[in-house]
Chain A
Amino acid sequence: MSRMHRNGPIALLFHTLVVGFVLAPLVVICLVAFTPANTLTLPTTQVSLRWFAAVFEHPDFVASFLNSLWVAAIAATIAVVLAVAAGLALDRYDFRGRAALNALFLSPLMIPHLVLGVALLRLFALLGATGSLVWLTAGHIVVVAPYVLRLVLAALSGLDRSAEQAAVTLGASSWIVFRRITVPMILPGITGGWLLAFINSFDELTMSIFITSPATVTLPVRMYMYATESIDPMMAAVSALMIAVTAAAMLLLDRIFGLDKILVGQG
């Protein structure tokens, strides 16, 4: 950047305030989580891990955490498989109904999660499937698959098709080309898509709150219910753990794909 493109002092002050505003709630959570007190106060004299310990002694939270982990991992994995297959169809072929399929696959991005939640609740109630972890996971697949699809489509369109042609002329069958050439070449898109799907599923509240039952409550839903009833530092400890998990996944995403590229696609 040249000298004349530097930000002035007013701009930097504004920037500091914005960054402070964005990070404040997260920083406060991480600090309060270490309080030794019984109330939501900042630790002033000493830090304590007692509230983190309390989380792990709380069977509901542990169960919900495991539910979320399971749902997010399975949903992300199946979403990747579906999105790669659908992405190949949408990128490589020109066929009737292509635009309609594309719209169908991306539609969950345009439908508020609230509406998806009540809609799935109605379906599951009619099927007698409320309280099923499998159906909950299916709902999550639908919500996260569009993110994967967008990354897979971007990766496919950026792919140098002549590498695939080269493999064909060297004698590779279409399955071998897919497995040995195409998949490795779009692997960053696939991995980034999986992680983004995992995070989105792991964090999902608004749809899940309608379609979970006491046995299938996910972590965000558990936290929501806990926060509406009682507020103690354990909530801060759980939140701090979630921030830590998310930050780890985020750094991984940034390494693999460049976080700005992924998130720019999310807006």
Chain B
Amino acid sequence: MSSARAGTTPWLLAAPGALLFTALVLVPLVLTFVLSFHVYDTASGVKDETTLAHYATILTDSYFLNIFWRTLRLAALTTMLCATIGAPEAYILSRMGEPWRSIFLLAIIGPLLVSVVVRAFGWSMLLGPTGLVNEVFRALGLGTVKILYTETAIVIALVHVMLPFMVIPVWTSLQKLDPMVEAAAWTLGASRFTALRRVVLPQVTTGLLSGSLVVFGLSASAFAIPALLGGRRLKMAATLVYDEYMHELNWPLGAAIAILVLVINLVIMLAYQRVVEARARRTLG
């Protein structure tokens, strides 16, 4: 595909971008990594001495462990809910006729482009004590339920924000599926359910898996949703980092937490790439 005469041309073309990305991605990450080993003193700020204390604190202090546990728990719950809602929805979408298919696909993945702050604000109105959800509960005689500033609110909004990231990969793998394959299973005597389970599902598992990894990674590092719907006390990893940087001013500790979040994310993304590569290998034979 590519012409072989490489020389310096590709480097000249890529140089401006490469410089910018090195200066604004690699260098800051290294600086932050180094910062996470610096001693912090409330009186005098960041010192030049190095220490492992921040990592030790995060990994032993029950305050931090609780927040990490909540982060992983809510991210896992969000992932499960997204899979159980997103996969069937992608399947239903794929079976719709035009123009409905395009319209609803747009409706489902379009909100991806609306600012997270806007969506979080929308949910805080819906879930608040005087919000629409509680109006319905009261009308049904269930009384007012506290939803806003609970884990439930965080999970509902996270599912809302992450759902497109699940629908898209499942939709993509369904697109590659020959619609006649399912019909072939029926003609061979399989029931609708059996055809779905034995023929369709195995072919979308890679989509489902890669969607799950993306949703989990993004949920675990989400900031706006827990900040606006979790209130001051229900913290997750990202809001914790924000607090350490902006309120406690303990940058080294915040940096250590951020590095941990990054490591967890990179592990997930590497797993994601393995999934994609395995799929590519399988389809190539």
For residue A191, CB closer than 8 A to chain B, the reply is no
Contact of B114 with A107 in the complex, beta carbons under 8 Å: no
- Chain A neighbourhood of B112, CB < 8 A: 263, 266
* Interface 9-residue window, one of A43-51, A52-60, A92-100, A181-189: A92-100
For residue A267, CB closer than 8 A to chain B, the reply is yes
Say which residue of A5, A21, A22, A42 sits within 8 Å of B95 (CB atoms): A5
Q: Check A26/B114 contact, CB under 8 A, given A15-B89, A118-B245.
A: yes
Complex CA distance for A263 and B217, rounded to whole angstroms: 18
0/1 string, A96-110, CB within 8 A of B gives 1: 001001001101101
- Chain B neighbourhood of A266, CB < 8 A: 112, 168
Least Cβ–Cβ distance between A35 and chain B, in angstroms? 11
Contact of B245 with A210 in the complex, beta carbons under 8 Å: yes
Q: Check A126/B31 contact, CB under 8 A, given A5-B95, A11-B92, A246-B114.
A: yes
* Interface 9-residue window, one of B47-55, B121-129, B277-285: B121-129
Q: Check A206/B11 contact, CB under 8 A, given A227-B228, A260-B109.
A: no
For residue B115, CB closer than 8 A to chain A, the reply is yes
Contact of A267 with B123 in the complex, beta carbons under 8 Å: no
Which positions 248-274 of chain B face chain A at CB distance < 8 Å? 251, 254-255, 258-259, 261-262, 265-266, 269
For residue A120, CB closer than 8 A to chain B, the reply is yes
Complex CA distance for A138 and B35, rounded to whole angstroms: 22
Q: Looking at chain B, what size class is its interface with the partner chain?
A: 35 or more
- Chain A neighbourhood of B214, CB < 8 A: 267
Contact of A242 with B2 in the complex, beta carbons under 8 Å: no
Contact of B25 with A18 in the complex, beta carbons under 8 Å: no
For residue B22, CB closer than 8 A to chain A, the reply is yes
Contact of B21 with A267 in the complex, beta carbons under 8 Å: no
Complex CA distance for A205 and B20, rounded to whole angstroms: 21
Contact of B3 with A93 in the complex, beta carbons under 8 Å: yes
Q: Check A5/B179 contact, CB under 8 A, given A26-B114, A89-B10.
A: yes
For residue B88, CB closer than 8 A to chain A, the reply is yes
For residue B160, CB closer than 8 A to chain A, the reply is yes
For residue A170, CB closer than 8 A to chain B, the reply is no
0/1 string, A29-41, CB within 8 A of B gives 1: 1001000000111
Q: Check A111/B25 contact, CB under 8 A, given A22-B163, A29-B125, A228-B227.
A: yes
Complex CA distance for A34 and B245, rounded to whole angstroms: 38
Least Cβ–Cβ distance between B65 and chain A, in angstroms? 19
- Chain B neighbourhood of A18, CB < 8 A: 85, 89, 108, 163
For residue B147, CB closer than 8 A to chain A, the reply is no
- Chain B neighbourhood of A15, CB < 8 A: 89, 92-93, 104
- Chain B neighbourhood of A139, CB < 8 A: 24
Contact of A260 with B105 in the complex, beta carbons under 8 Å: yes
Complex CA distance for A110 and B21, rounded to whole angstroms: 14
Which positions 159-194 of chain B face chain A at CB distance < 8 Å? 160, 163-165, 168-169, 171-172, 179, 183, 186
Interface of A, helix, strand, loop or mixed by DSSP: helix
- Chain A neighbourhood of B160, CB < 8 A: 21-22, 25
Least Cβ–Cβ distance between A132 and chain B, in angstroms? 13
Which positions 223-252 of chain A face chain B at CB distance < 8 Å? 223-224, 227-228, 231, 235-236, 239, 242-243, 246-247, 249-250
Complex CA distance for A11 and B228, rounded to whole angstroms: 33
For residue B102, CB closer than 8 A to chain A, the reply is yes
Contact of B265 with A246 in the complex, beta carbons under 8 Å: no
- Chain A neighbourhood of B262, CB < 8 A: 111-112, 115
Which positions 101-147 of chain B face chain A at CB distance < 8 Å? 102, 104-126, 128, 130, 132
For residue B242, CB closer than 8 A to chain A, the reply is yes
Q: Which among B29, B88, B110, B119 has the highest number of chain A CB atoms within 10 Å?
A: B110
For residue B224, CB closer than 8 A to chain A, the reply is yes
Complex CA distance for A139 and B123, rounded to whole angstroms: 29
Complex CA distance for A224 and B223, rounded to whole angstroms: 11
Least Cβ–Cβ distance between A119 and chain B, in angstroms? 3
Contact of A86 with B238 in the complex, beta carbons under 8 Å: no
Q: Can you name 28 A-B pairs with beta carbons within 8 Å?
A: A7-B92, A11-B88, A15-B93, A15-B104, A22-B107, A24-B122, A25-B121, A28-B122, A40-B125, A90-B14, A92-B10, A95-B6, A95-B11, A104-B25, A119-B29, A119-B32, A121-B245, A122-B28, A123-B24, A126-B31, A209-B242, A223-B118, A227-B117, A242-B114, A246-B114, A263-B109, A264-B171, A267-B168
Q: 4 new A-B pairs (CB below 8 Å) besides A15-B104, A22-B108, A145-B21?
A: A5-B179, A224-B228, A231-B124, A239-B118
The 8 closest A-B pairs by CB, nearest first: A25-B122, A119-B28, A112-B221, A267-B168, A93-B10, A89-B10, A89-B13, A203-B115
